[in-house]
Amino acid sequence: MIFLSAGVPDPRRNPNYYQTADVVAIRDAVRALATMVLPHAQLVWGGHPAITPLIRYVMQTMKANVQEHVILYQSLFFKFVFPEDNQFIEKRVFTEDLGNRDRSLFHMRQRMLRENQFQAGIFIGGMEGVEEEFRLFRELHPHARLLPVASTGAAAQIIYRELQPMSDERLLHEYAYMALFKSLLKGII
């Protein structure tokens, strides 16, 4: 089981993440990861409006039915702004709206990361939510492989630097994401 934490930074919310983000790399990395993982293992992520459409696109291009390989977690706090793409994911886990954005997101992340046994966590682009998911993931899954794709910039780059020198240097410089994930997830998928 693979955990994906990814996002496209919003320049209006926190320009520091946006300044280092490579939006094309974020999209390419998510598509490559989904393409590599979905035929072989389960991919779990929290619904991000820029990420779910990319995963849906990959699912539509695959010849095999991969619905059993995806699990989308979504907080009901956002029920009025769910991306249309959510409805195309069969296995959706909705977590309670606790009346507050931060508490609702924390609750969703807790459930998502406690209810599943992960072999690897992939961190792509993103902002503070990706950093929060990384910290929680590392705490709950101390033996899982940690792969912050620093070449996508933003939060993933910050996480990569935090893990130095333990991170594979290819995560910083490599943009051939299919080959990168094939190598780094060897033995898992």
- Model confidence at 94, pLDDT cuts 50, 70, 90, reads very high
Q: What single letter denotes the amino acid at residue 117?
A: Q
**103-108 mean pLDDT:** 98
Structure tokens at 112: 């998502």
| pLDDT of 54 | 95
**158-165 mean pLDDT:** 93
In whole angstroms, what separates CA 22 from the centre of its chain?
15
Return the H-helix or E-strand segment holding 46. strand 43-46
In whole angstroms, what separates CA 9 from the centre of its chain?
13
Q: Which fold has domain 2-184?
A: Rossmann fold (3.40.50)
Q: What does pLDDT average to over the chain?
A: 95
pTM assigned to the model: 0.96
Domain ranges of the chain: 2-184
pLDDT at 63 over 90: no
pLDDT at 15 over 90: no
